Amino acid sequence: MADRGRPKTIGELRRSGYRVLSVREELRKNLIEKIRKGERLFPGIIGYDDTVIPQIENAILAGQDIIFLGERGQAKSRLIRQLVNLLDEEVPVIAGCEINDNPYKPICKACRDKVAQHGDEVEIAWLPRERRYAEKLATPDVSIADLIGEVDPIKVAEGRYLADELTIHFGLIPRVNRGIFCVNELPDLPERIQVGLFNLLEERDVQIRGYLIRLPLDVYVVASANPEDYTNRGRIITPLKDRYGAQIRTHYPRTIEDELAIVEQARGHFPDMDERVQVPSFMREIVAEFTALARRSPDLNQRSGVSVRVSIANYETLMAAALRRAIRYNEPVAVPRMSDLPFIYASTAGKLELETVEEGREGRIIEDLLKKAVLNVFNRTFNVREFDPLVQKFEEGLVVETGTAIPSFVYVEKLRDVDGFQPALRKFQVGENEALFASVVEFVLDGLHLNRRLNRDRVEGRFRYKG
């Protein structure tokens, strides 16, 4: 709403015909409008169009509070924060009110007294949608005072009676009145604090101890939780679970394409890296395939999940390794290779939770998953029989050394005239790109090795392929 002509008092607001909607009505109204216009409701959220988002729409249209269940890295917090975009751009509140009182129906004593004394002359302010959202990460030290409120000793010291409502210091929930409140990782909230949310979800009010008052708040409540905490450990008390209207299950990307789209969107972007680094399709697929295999591995704790952040960090690491090589050897283009894959141990370790803890086991699991990822992508890309002529050359004595520290031109000088690589070089349109030439050569060699067509030895930090 433009500043010019915008109501500045309750009287002007009333004469303008403005109707104050509840948060649920507001969310429904704006959701319906976006659906009618065919607008994208959650920009940047990939892979949920046919699963999660329809359930969110149903919950909002039904006016239900939501709890999102999902393992780590499934965009739960991002979904919740984007709900703010379904609020009106601005709403009127009584100016100076700590809890964003409805100008037509104030609930705090200070605003009731102000309206009783000045009536329609009371000033109003316009609250933007960004300030109508609050979230709290549930931790064992969270108190009822943090969420609901408590006596303010400073106000008591100023001479007010304890029974006076004006001595209340409002907590986070009252301060987000007429907005959206989120509890992240709800199971970590102590049970005695969870009890304090009962009234908010059912009677739509909160009680502040020591006062004979109830504040009828207008708050849309959402929460996030890991399904392991929610269903197995039983750390969300049953009456609280019962009060949430909709329980929506999130999930990891169901296709490699979705995984890679998320990676490209979420990875770090630097001008030099974006301009100089080219990631071949097979390297991108290996990153996504590695994560997909990890999500099915019996050696990893699937209850804690394998986040998309694994793919993002590994992708960034490979780009960085390629850029570092290009800088060192003054190569105009940087392309990740198979020999760069060991670097992802650093960006993977710590993100995987093992089923059994054993010294050195994490490294072996990562190595096995990497080998399987490369093999799967290679066999999807090529028929291994295409490289029979190349294998024959190795049987006749050809030996090739690869390594992350070998300049790209070395590969070109040694292997340019070896005909067996041609199917792969044509497929990836290598042309005069020396860095891509080196990457494709390593992909072919590693794929043939994993298909048991070539032997591979590790020699002084390099890989040596032979017949």
Among 64-78, 80-94, 212-226, 284-298, the minimum mean pLDDT is found in: 212-226
Q: What is the per-residue pLDDT for 234? A: 45
> Nearest Cα to 403, choosing from 455, 428, 359, 439?
439
Element (H, E) at 381: helix 361-381
Same domain, 192 and 239: yes
Residues 455, 437 share a domain? yes
Q: Are 246 and 66 in contact (CB under 8 A)?
A: yes
Averaged pLDDT for residues 294-323: 92
Higher pLDDT, 4 or 293: 293
Beta strands at 90-94 and 124-128: parallel, antiparallel or unpaired: antiparallel
Output the pLDDT for position 2. Answer: 44
Cα–Cα distance measured from residue 78 to residue 44, given in angstroms and rounded to the nearest whole number: 9
Same domain, 214 and 69: yes
For residues 80 and 136, state if they share a domain: yes
Quick one: what percent of the chain has pLDDT higher than 70?
Answer: 91
User: For the chain, what is the domain count?
Assistant: 2
Instruction: Please give the average per-residue pLDDT across 183-210, as a whole number.
Output: 79
Q: Outline where DSSP puts E strands in 89-172.
A: 90-94, 124-128, 133-137, 149-151, 168-170
CB atoms closer than 10 angstroms to residue 33: 11
Q: What would the 3-class secondary structure string for 67-115 be?
A: EEECCCCCCHHHHHHHHHHHCCCEEEEECCCCCCCCCCCCCCHHHHHHH
Question: pLDDT tens, 145-180?
Answer: 788 877 665 565 565 554 555 567 788 888 999 999
Residue with tokens 């504040």: 215
Q: In this prediction, what percent of the chain has a pLDDT beyond 90?
A: 69
Same domain, 270 and 239: no
- At 3, the pLDDT band (50, 70, 90 cuts) reads low
380 and 402 share one domain: yes
Residue finishing a domain among 229, 249, 269 = 249
pLDDT digits over 243-273, tens only?
888 999 999 999 999 999 999 999 999 999 9
CATH number at residue 148: 3.40.50.300
The SS3 assignment for 248 reads strand
Inside any domain, residue 1 = no
Tell me the residue type at 316: E
Which one is predicted more confidently, 192 or 42? 42
Does residue 194 carry a pLDDT above 60?
A: yes
Q: Which of 170-174, 301-305, 307-311, 427-431 has the lowest mean pLDDT?
A: 301-305
pLDDT recorded at residue 171? 83
* Residue 460 included in any domain: yes
Mean per-residue pLDDT of the chain: 89
Coil, helix or strand for 359?
coil
Q: Which residue has the higher pLDDT, 187 or 26?
A: 26
pLDDT greater than 70 at residue 111: yes
Where does a domain end: 249, 271, 294?
249
Q: Are residues 240 and 260 in the same domain?
A: no
What is the pLDDT at residue 200?
A: 78
For the cut 60, the answer to whether the pLDDT of residue 126 exceeds it is yes
Q: How far apart are CA 264 and CA 50, in angstroms?
A: 21
4 belongs to a structural domain? no
Tell me, yes or no, whether 140 and 272 share the same domain. no
Residue 301: predicted pLDDT: 83
> In this structure, is residue 156 part of a structural domain?
yes
pTM: 0.85
Within-domain flag for 99: yes
Residue 215 has, within 13 A of its CA and on its CB side, a CA count of 33
**Single-letter amino acid code for the residue at 378:** F
Q: What is the pLDDT of residue 121?
A: 96
Q: CA-CA distance, 306 to 233, in Å (whole number)? A: 20
Query: Are 260 and 160 part of one and the same domain?
Result: no
Which of 201, 223, 249 marks a domain boundary? Answer: 249
**pLDDT at 161 (0 to 100):** 52
Same domain, 48 and 180: yes
* Same-domain check for residues 304 and 189: no
Confidence of residue 232 (pLDDT cuts 50, 70, 90): very low
pLDDT of residue 193: 84
- Say yes or no to pLDDT of 124 above 60: yes
pLDDT of residue 233: 47
Instruction: Say how far apart CA 123 and CA 374 lie, in whole Å.
Output: 66
> Which tokens sit at 142?
């969270």
pLDDT value of residue 230 = 53
Query: Could you give the C-alpha distances from 443 to 250, 252, 317, 339, in angstroms and in order?
Result: 35, 28, 18, 9
User: Please, which residues bridge with residue 330 across strands?
Assistant: none
Pairing of strands 400-402, 124-128: unpaired
Cα gap 177→99, rounded to integer Å: 6
Residue 355, token pair as written in the block: 């089923």
In a domain, 2, yes or no: no
> What is the residue range of 401's domain?
256-466
Whole-angstrom distance, CA of residue 261 vs CA of residue 243: 36
Say if residue 238 is in the same domain as residue 282: no
Instruction: State whether residue 367 is helix, strand or coil.
Output: helix
Which pLDDT band holds residue 394 (cuts at 50, 70, 90)?
very high
Residue 433 falls within a domain, yes or no? Answer: yes
pLDDT (average), residues 328-354: 93
For residues 128-145, give the mean pLDDT. Answer: 89
Highest mean pLDDT among 54-58, 138-142, 170-174, 233-237 belongs to 54-58
pLDDT at 212: 54
User: Is residue 240 in some structural domain?
Assistant: yes
pLDDT at 97: 92
More confident residue, 63 or 350: 63
pLDDT of residue 291: 96
